Structure 1
Amino acid sequence: MPRVGIREVAAAAGVSMGTVSHFLNHPDRVSAEKAKRIQEAIDRLGFVRNNAGRQLRLGHSMTVAYIVPDVSNPFFATIAEGVEQRAAQAGLSVFVANSGGDQAREDSYLDLFEEHGVRGMLVASPRSIEARLAAIRGRGTPSVLVGQRAGTPAQPSVSIDDVSGGYQAARHLVEIGCRHIAFVGGPLGIRQVADRLQGASNAIRESGGAATLEVIEAEPRVIATGHKVAAELTGRPAGRRPDGIFAVNDLLGIGLVQTLVTGGVRVPEDVAVVGYDDIEYAENSLVPLTSVRPPHEEFGIAAIDLLLRVLGEAPPAPDHQVVFTPDLVVRRSSDRGQSGK
């Protein structure tokens, strides 16, 4: 069956091809009565817009790409909602790709989206990727690094002050009386993980010897890993067990809490637990989880806004590296009634 084009839609709606083009590209220029007839013709004929042709006319794509390392993590899903919301407002479509944390798959998506001529890319990566993005930028495709601060001024980025977040988490545990604190997460080669550990270490150092920090490197950062670490901790003699745990993300924290409680350890009386990301599941955990909250949808919105500035479609930003400071949200898992935060 031949492909239905603008000519056929115009004939069916009784309008000119130019009016159909306006309806598709500038609907505000078409009267409500003609718009209704055109839409009815599109629905009846099964017309599908040819964006490749539109891209040729405009001289650029109306699509951006967002590459994430773990689409199953609710934190990245909420960022994607913000990305899509703001992109739609700007008339852009979004391709979301899941690299699964695998470098080969990430490289493949970078190649694919560059070949398809996307307008720009948002890239969240667990590894150092700036050199690769610089090469792509040099060939005409701009990008925003999402989740880690760029090391060079030429690379736009939207990130979280994870040192501050880690500091807030550990300081809170010290303030509620924890003296043997465990940091759970990994790998430490990931910038965000290392920064959260650095912040926690700063808080322990400030305690003047009142608290110690044990590092338990654990990956992947999922609920099942939290179960495994908690099972090991509950098997320890009570005197060697931490009385406070800072989990590098909420999925680990939720798994830790579940297994600690089912193993007879009271949370927070025996062991207080703090997570990171404040995903939806944190508040609805078996014991509602205290968590460090970065922006969620706002983070994705900020990433698209920064990309639009780089593309010249929004006022230029004074700084191409946007850093958000997270906040601590205290819930039952660490609420011993001693912290007024």
Structure 2
Amino acid sequence: MASASVKDVAALARVSVGTVSNVLNRPELVAPETVERVTQAMEKLSYVRNEAARQLRLGHSQALGLITLSGGNPFFTDLATAAEDAAADAGFSVIVGNSNDRKDREAGYLSLFEELRVRGVLLSPVGDPAARLRRMRDRGISAVLVDTVSTDSSFSSVSVDDVAGGALAAAHLIGSGRRRLAYVGGPIEIRQVRDRLAGARQEVAKHPGVTLEVVDVGALTVQEGRAAGAVIASRPVSDRPDAVFAANDLLAIGLLQSLFINGRLAIPQEIALVGYDDIQFASASVVPLTSVRQPSALIGRTGVEILLQEAEDPELQPRHVLYQPELVVRESSAG
């Protein structure tokens, strides 16, 4: 059966097509009894609004796009939830995509969001999509980077000082007497991985006799953490780090499983462990995990606020909000 049209609703409600349009878009302009009559006609006819046609008339939708690096990382789940709440307060919805650290998937979602005529895009990029985002901005789609900053500062960004976070983690481990540190993270092309390593290196350089090795992994996942932990646990004590700083909590949880559960190494007595993000599972792991906390919800809310402001006024100058991380010390490094 064919879907009911606006004309069908107007005929049943005995009003003009323009009145039905006002009920859909500007109900405050219509008498309450007329709104009720039109609404009843819509319900009787099972009328479904043609959102695509509405977007064509307006030039944009009431939706925002969000592309995260990893849908499996609770940090991005918390960020996305806060972004959805902030968008809903402003009358917008959020369409979420996960690039899974892949540039081709990121490009695909950007194309989809263009086709859907979203009002703006929040993006935690895999690489540097500035040229693509500039073309989208020329077509009326604003963009704000979250959890990173643009290399040319041409787009607003909301992020955390990951260099400072890496330094916090290394300083804590060194301050507790550790001298042979390892950094587990990767791929190194990810800006956050590079910056956290840079901060750790800066701190290590201040302390003669302290070393920092880098254990590169293929992804920021529990599975990669387990694999790295198994390799570390198999090494002789003299060749093993006495502290590990993981680029995120998922890696740290995988490391903990291999080192403590499978490798039977005492945490933190034999190896201290620090993660990054302070996801909910960090405090609930078998050995509560020390972690560098990021304000994930605040990043999501602030990103949406800036994005909507720029959507209303494209001439606004880019803003760069940089939050400071916080070290949360727990049993994995406090012994």
Calculate the TM-score normalised by the size of structure 2. Answer: 0.89
1:250 matched to which residue of 2?
249
The 3 A distance-change label for structure 1 pair 118 and 182 is: same
1:103 to 1:16, Cα distance in 2 relative to 1, 3 A? same
Which residue of the partner structure matches residue 339 of structure 1? Answer: none
Q: Distance in 2 between matches of 1:23 and 1:176?
A: 66
Q: Is this contact kept in 2: 1:149–1:321, CA < 8 A?
A: yes
Shift of 1:130: 1.5
Contact 2:288 2:330 in 1 (8 A): yes
Shift of 1:327: 1.1
Question: Which residue is equivalent to 2:272?
Answer: 272
CA contact (8 A) 2:157 2:319 kept: yes
Match of 1:219 in 2: 218
Aligned to 2:324: 325
- Local SS of the residue matching 1:95: strand
| Number of the residue aligned with 2:260 | 261
Aligned to 1:46: 46
| Residue identity in the other structure for 1:160 | V
**Any idea what the Cα deviations from partners look like across 1:98-150, whole Å, max 9, x if unmatched?**
22222222222222222332222112122122122223323432211222111
Work out the CA distance in 1 between the residues paired with 2:44 and 2:227. Answer: 57
Q: How many Å separate the matches in 1 of 2:77 and 2:38? A: 36
* Mean CA deviation greater in 88-97 or 189-198: 88-97
Q: Which residue of 2 aligns with 1:78?
A: 78
Alpha-carbon distance between aligned partners in 2 of 1:58 and 1:17, rounded to the nearest angstrom: 18
Name the residue aligned to 1:282: 282
What's the CA shift string for 1:23-78, capped at 9, x where partnerless?
54356667888767766654554322222232244343222211223212222121
Q: Following the alignment from structure 1 to structure 2, what is the Cα–Cα distance between the partners of residues 323 and 83? A: 17
**Deviation for aligned residue 1:328:** 1.1
In structure 1, give the amino acid aligned to 2:61. Answer: S
Q: Tell me if 1:55 matches 2:52.
A: no
From the superposition, tell whether residues 288 and 46 of structure 1 become closer, same or farther in structure 2 (CA, over 3 Å).
farther
Q: Distance in 1 between matches of 2:141 and 2:315?
A: 19
What residue is the counterpart of 1:96 in the other structure? Answer: 96
| SS of equivalent residue, structure 1 residue 301 | helix
1:312 equivalent in structure 2: 312
- Identity fraction in percent: 44
- Greater shift, 96-105 or 84-93, is seen at 96-105
5 Å-filtered alignment, 1:9-24, equals 9=9, 21-24=21-24
Q: Partner of 1:334: helix, strand, or coil? A: coil
What is the count of residue pairs matched by the alignment?
Answer: 334
Contact 2:128 2:150 in 1 (8 A): no
Calculate the aligned-residue CA RMSD, in Å: 2.6
In the other structure, the counterpart of 1:152 is: 152
**Partner residue in 1 for 2:168:** 168
Classify the secondary structure of the residue corresponding to 2:64.
Answer: strand
User: SS at the partner of 2:141?
Assistant: coil
Amino acid at match of 1:269: Q
Q: With the length of structure 1 as denominator, give the TM-score of the two structures.
A: 0.88
Deviates more, 1:48-57 or 1:286-295: 48-57
Aligned to 2:312, what secondary structure does the other structure show? coil
8 A contact 1:150–1:321 mirrored in 2:
no
**What CA distance in whole angstroms lies between the structure 2 residues aligned with 1:313 and 1:175?**
48
Shift in Å, 1:188: 1.8
Choose 86-95 or 17-26, whichever is displaced more: 17-26
Classify the secondary structure of the residue corresponding to 1:333: coil
State the one-letter code of the partner of 1:48: V
Distance 1:271 1:15, change over 3 A: farther
In structure 1, runs of 5+ residues without a counterpart are 337-341
Matched residue SS, 1:81: helix
1:309, 1:315 within 8 Å by CA — same for their partners in 2? no
**Residue type of the partner of 1:290?**
T
Write the distance in 2 (CA, Å) between the matches of 1:178 and 1:43.
Answer: 69
Tell me, yes or no, if the aligned pair for 1:308 and 1:314 is still in contact at 8 Å.
no
Say if 1:328 and 1:23 are closer, same or farther in 2 by CA, change over 3 A. Answer: farther
Task: Give the letter aligned to residue 159 of structure 1.
Answer: S
Find the aligned partners of 2:167 and 2:227 in 1 and give their Cα distance. Answer: 25
What is the distance in 2 between the residues matched to 1:32 and 1:74? 45
